[in-house]
Amino acid sequence: MKIIDLSKPIQYNKSDPWFMKVKIKHKPHQKSKWLIRLLGLPFHLFPKDFVGWADDTIQKMGVHSTTHIDAPWHYSPTTNGQKSKTIDEIPLEWCFGEGLVIDMKHKADFDPITITDIEIFLEEKQLDIKPGMIVLIKTGRDKYNGTKNFHKIGTGMSAAATEWIIDKGIKVMGIDSWGWDLPLPYMLKKAKETANPELFWEAHLIGKNKEYCHMEQLVNLDKLPYEGFKIAVFPLKIVGASAAPARVVAIFD
């Protein structure tokens, strides 16, 4: 069995914008020796060569700060008139399945991915989207992950293409860009320029009417074939959360 990690490392990066900053405090082994002593164990009863245990505290990390999966609750409090699922309510069956990579690396920054783009790719590669698959959109923008402009560049999914994939029987999909839509600063700018209230966050908001989850900030999609593997994307079980970090992996039998 071969496993390829599709998750970015969780660590402090000074180039991340403030809303993506992660801060972790690493506590060395020696510090715990004094804690054990305060708990009542005399030093002379410590095991031979015992140096203490290491410990770590996540002091700051938003659920959307690293490789993660968004729950329907992130997009809207309701989905098709019913309460949207939070991340702890996502069926685990959604989170494991056959993987399919759709290669959109040729798409220019700020040029949305359309139904036609996907249909052309599938036809050229003789691939099919089958119900229950986990569909991965490869844009190649993960090479900018960790840089200060990561959230400002790249392509993204259109609302129509998102809905089209959902209608194929897909519950979970993902992308290696910062976000599922076009870059957030670009969407803000274009919405104001065009005075179009339907433009901002259009792909995410498909989730108001059609239930689905998507992953963001995937890495290493270039290491995958287009098909012939499984994807596991089990999120942390954070009660009531809109998303959760996940260790996303591709598994080859």
Q: pLDDT (tens digit, 9 = 90+) per residue, 23-76? A: 999 999 988 888 888 889 898 888 988 899 999 999 999 999 999 999 999 999
Nearest to 110 by CA among 158, 145, 175, 154: 154
Q: Which two tokens stand for residue 1?
A: 């069995």
pLDDT band at 229, cuts 50/70/90?
very high
Nearest CA to 89 out of 102, 71, 77, 107 is that of 71
Instruction: Please name the amino acid found at residue 195.
Output: A
pLDDT digits (tens, 9 = 90+) for 66-110: 999 999 999 999 999 999 999 999 999 999 999 999 999 999 999
pLDDT value of residue 36: 87
Q: What is the pLDDT of residues 164-214, one digit of tens each?
A: 999 999 999 999 999 999 999 999 999 999 999 999 999 999 999 999 999
Contact 95, 233 (CB under 8 A): yes
Percent pLDDT > 90 in the chain is: 92
pLDDT band at 139 (very low <50, low <70, confident <90, very high): very high
Domains annotated on the chain, with CATH: 23-60 (no CATH), 68-252 (3.50.30.50)
What residues contact 15, with CB distance under 8 A and at least 6 apart? 146, 147, 148
- Gap between the Cα atoms of 183 and 152, Å rounded: 5
Closest CA to 172 of 72, 52, 38, 43: 72
